[in-house]
Amino acid sequence: MKTGIFICHCGHNIKHTVDVKKLSTYFKMFPSVTVSEDYPFVCSEPGQDMIKDSIEKHGLDRVIIASCTPSLHQELFKDLLKKSDLNPFLLRRVGIREHCSWVGDDVDKNTEKAIRLIKAGLYSSSHYVPLEEKRVDVTKSALIIGGGVSGLSAAVFLSKMGMQVYLVEKEAELGGHTRNLKNIWPIGEDGTLIIEEMEKELQGRENVEIFTSTTISSFEGSFGNYEAVLLTRAGEKRIVAGGVIVAIGFSPFDPQIKPELAYGIDKRIITTMDFERSIDALSLPENPRIAILHCVGSRDEQIGKPYCSRVCCINALRVADTVKEKYKDSYVESFYMDVRAHPRGGEEFFEDTQEKGVLFTRSNIAEIIPGSKGVLVRGEDTLFNELFEREFDLVVLSIGMSPPEDNRLISSLLKITLDKDKFFLEAHVKLRPYDTAVKGIFIAGACSGPKDIEESINHGRASATKLYGFLNLGYAFVEPFIAFVDMKRCSGCRMCEKACVAKAIKFDETKRLVHVEEAACMGCGLCNATCPSSAIGLRGYLDNVIDDEISALVEAV
Amino acid sequence: MSEDKTDKNQEIIGFACSFCTFKASEMAGSLRMKYPDGVRLVQVPCSSRVDPAFVIKSILEGADGAFVAGCHPGDCHFIKGNYFTRRKIAALKEMFDAFSMKDKLRLFWVSAAEARRFVEKVTGMYNEIKEKKNAGKTN
Ligand code: SF4
Ligand code: SF4
């Protein structure tokens, strides 16, 4: 065997706490190791050239790249092997950054650990065999779950590209929360018009099917051919989609979770959303006194919402601005922790409202007490360290975004993950911000964390673009990590058949042996772990691969 | 000196599912969360790929402990893999118990988002085993 080991410094990231020179020298001792080098950045162009030259010069038949975690740059390095005429499945990645150099500070211990990790790669990769990526036919259709502004923009894009779109919305009409917003910052658009514009773009398109008042009752299949059962008002409908975009938005924070705010017991205490809906119907005195509370349901550890909801500062400022426009001599006081007016033009808008006479008080609000004359706001001024109590005619709570109420349902149906705040989690926050961990399933809009309308539209289009790229050819390649049977060893006991959830294992009555239907196999490896005769193996994760990995990891040095 | 040696030799092998616990460990690394260097992972596609033989092998070859970690029940990417894992590990635990080494084996549920939980679980296991080991030494 001719193995090449390439150890990355990742600039400072690995070199800082791992003795990379020691590693490359150490592995030169192994007879099966032909090349062992360390290099500042193996993913850089010169780094890649070095590996390629090495493969060609020495005729390497195994490549071990010890660098960042195996899921990063995987395609890049696989392509590199392909370019060097080496089967890409003879590559082994060893994560000495996320699983070693970043985890501890002790150089000796880390170096020791890195040796073990690389050894595990070296021993186990000796059992690797060349594999072929499996070509699967994919259905050029998309299931979009959620008909809000991001789901709609994804639908518009995909339908224009000629792809079949199934848009599912659980409410009776499309548009989500955007439909209820009458005056969207910065230029005061009407949300209804934005939604109608998108609906118009979808109208009459043969490749779009819209299901309102519809939920999803089951979801199966794999990338390229997902099958969903939709529960429509007219009954069940089964559809097949190559990929999915989850765009189920958010739930407005319910201030009743904080009883000290007295929301819901007095109609002079409203939310920014209520304000939006009822602005013209509010009966206020001629020169009203209005309090606006920022961060209601955001940045609040006590109720498990430590995150910033991003849009509520602007919403609060807009309420202040609207009131000041309507009632020149009103008294408007805004109670904030920080003002995070982050979108373009937000800071300028903040200054404008200050110039219009809105008072900003940095504070913690303790409670709101409805009285006969006015509503009492009680709190602490955190700049002056003073307690205060003031009376208002109206209190507006600028509420944040909570995860959508169907988050758990959709996450368990589609097997996609939620983050710690219960929004959907992307595959990688920087490198794969639209993907989920499941191939062909994407997320868009505020269901993956608070976003404003512009961001949600961008997110929806971006996910749609990615999905289009995945399905456009009508076929795709998937990794060949699936099960296979060694006929000589199979006793026909059918234990694996019982275990396989995917029903991928079929029993042959005449031969009294089993075989695996490759297209159905999900690649979990349960059959491999179940077979008493070690007759069924999972490609890429064979018993001897894992056995040798274990041996290397625990071997006394 | 003896403390040092205990520390150095202490090894825990973890079998981590690609879809959740392995992802959590990647995130823990990215967030520069610290945990003992003796914790070493074997990446598996699903916790159900873990043959009890792997766990036994780890211990026989000298690991001080082994854990299997996967997605929370109901969240398995392969639908029901982790239910099989749960059953298998429960049976294996009885066996470990019979040999008075119950604490050498753990089963954790750690989702992809739970980097902190991952670190807490592995550190907790590591420290408990270390304590037992040291206690045994002084007796
Ligand atoms: S790897 Fe999983 S899905 Fe494939 S045949 Fe085995 S048990 Fe079935
Ligand atoms: S469990 Fe193993 S021996 Fe039994 S039928 Fe399946 S492959 Fe054959």
- Give the model confidence (pLDDT) of A375-403 as tens digits: 999 999 999 999 999 999 999 999 999 99
Q: What is the pLDDT of residues A447-486, one digit of tens each?
A: 999 999 999 999 999 999 999 999 999 999 888 999 999 9
Report the C-alpha gap between A22 and B59 in whole angstroms. Answer: 29
Nearest CA-CA distance, residue B135 and chain A, Å: 23
- Comparing CA positions, the residue from A432, A433, A522 lying closest to residue A223 is A522
Residue A434, pLDDT above cutoff 90: yes
At B9, the pLDDT band (50, 70, 90 cuts) reads low
Mean pLDDT of chain A: 95
Q: What is the DSSP string of A132-186?
A: -PEEEE--SEEEEE--SHHHHHHHHHHHHTT-EEEEE-SSSSS-GGGGG-SSBTT
Cα(A502) to ligand 1 centroid in Å equals: 6
Q: What is the DSSP string of A52-80?
A: HHHHHHHT-SEEEEEES-TTSSHHHHHHH
pLDDT at B136: 67
Token output for A468: 């289009």
A247-284 exposure pattern, b = at least 16 Cβ within 10 A, e = fewer: bbbbbbbebeebeebbbeeeebbbbbbbbbeeeeebee
- Comparing CA positions, the residue from A69, A351, A400 lying closest to residue A252 is A400
Query: Running DSSP on this structure, what letter comes out for residue B100?
Result: T
B12 touches chain A (CB under 8 A): no
Query: Running DSSP on this structure, what letter comes out for residue B136?
Result: H
What average pLDDT does the segment A343-356 reach? Answer: 94
Residue type, B7: D
Contact B19 A525 (CB under 8 A): no
Residue of A nearest to B12 (CA): A554
Cα(B49) to ligand 1 centroid in Å equals: 9
Neighboring chain A residues of B28 at a CB cutoff of 8 Å? 98, 103
Report the C-alpha gap between A204 and A432 in whole angstroms. Answer: 34
CB nearest B113 (choices: A418, A502, A522): A418
Report the C-alpha gap between A89 and A84 in whole angstroms. Answer: 13
Report the C-alpha gap between A5 and A24 in whole angstroms. Answer: 8
Report the C-alpha gap between A375 and A395 in whole angstroms. Answer: 7
At B1, the pLDDT band (50, 70, 90 cuts) reads very low
Mean pLDDT of chain B: 90
pLDDT at A489: 95
Neighboring chain A residues of B86 at a CB cutoff of 8 Å? none
Residue A289: count of CB within 10 angstroms of its CB:
18
Contact A12, A45 (CB under 8 A): no
Token output for A467: 């999905």
What average pLDDT does the segment A493-512 reach? Answer: 93
Q: Of A177 and A432, which is predicted with more confidence? A: A177
**Collapsing DSSP states into helix, strand and coil, what is residue A280?**
helix
Backbone angles phi, psi at A98, to 5 degrees: -60, -30
Token output for A510: 């005449």
ipTM above 0.90, yes or no: yes
**Residue of the nearest CA to atom 3 in ligand 2?**
A490
| Distance set, CA A543 to CA B50, B53, B83 (Å) | 10, 10, 21
A121 touches chain B (CB under 8 A): no
Q: What is the pLDDT of residues A209-219, one digit of tens each?
A: 999 999 999 99
Residues paired with residue A208 on neighbouring β-strands, in sequence order: A165
Q: What is the pLDDT of residues A116-156, one digit of tens each?
A: 999 999 999 999 999 999 888 999 999 999 999 999 999 99
Cα(A489) to ligand 2 centroid in Å equals: 8
Contact A336, A361 (CB under 8 A): yes
User: What is the H or E stretch that residue A43 is in?
Assistant: none
pLDDT at B137: 61
Residues paired with residue A144 on neighbouring β-strands, in sequence order: A167, A245
CB nearest A98 (choices: B8, B20, B29): B29
Contact A99 B41 (CB under 8 A): yes
Nearest CA-CA distance, residue A78 and chain B, Å: 19
Contact B89, B49 (CB under 8 A): no
At B31, the pLDDT band (50, 70, 90 cuts) reads very high
User: In terms of residues, how long is chain B?
Assistant: 139
pLDDT at B139: 44
Contact A421, A223 (CB under 8 A): no
- Residue identified by tokens 């994760």 is A541
Pocket, ligand 2, Cβ cutoff 6 A: A 485, 490-496, 514, 531, 533, 535-536
Report the C-alpha gap between A346 and A204 in whole angstroms. Answer: 38
**Residue of the nearest CA to atom 8 in ligand 1?**
A500
Probe site for chain B from A92, A417, A432, A542 (most B CB atoms < 10 A) = A417
What average pLDDT does the segment A354-371 reach? Answer: 96
Query: Running DSSP on this structure, what letter comes out for residue B65?
Result: E
Token output for A531: 């077979």
Residues paired with residue A35 on neighbouring β-strands, in sequence order: A4
Report the C-alpha gap between A360 and A344 in whole angstroms. Answer: 21
- Comparing CA positions, the residue from B91, B93, B92 lying closest to residue B103 is B93
Contact A99 B35 (CB under 8 A): no
Residue A16, pLDDT above cutoff 80: yes
Residue A408, pLDDT above cutoff 90: yes
Cα(A168) to ligand 1 centroid in Å equals: 31
Contact B50 A529 (CB under 8 A): yes
Token output for A324: 């000041």
Probe site for chain A from B77, B109, B120, B123 (most A CB atoms < 10 A) = B77
Query: Running DSSP on this structure, what letter comes out for residue A432?
Result: B
pLDDT at B3: 40
Residues 51-80 of B with CB under 8 A from A: 51-52, 54, 57-58, 61-63, 74-80
Residue B8, pLDDT above cutoff 80: no
End-to-end CA distance of chain A: 23
Closest atom of ligand 1 to CA, residue A536: 6
Residue A357: count of CB within 10 angstroms of its CB:
13
At A513, the pLDDT band (50, 70, 90 cuts) reads very high
What average pLDDT does the segment A52-63 reach? Answer: 97
Residue A187, pLDDT above cutoff 90: no
Nearest CA-CA distance, residue B124 and chain A, Å: 16
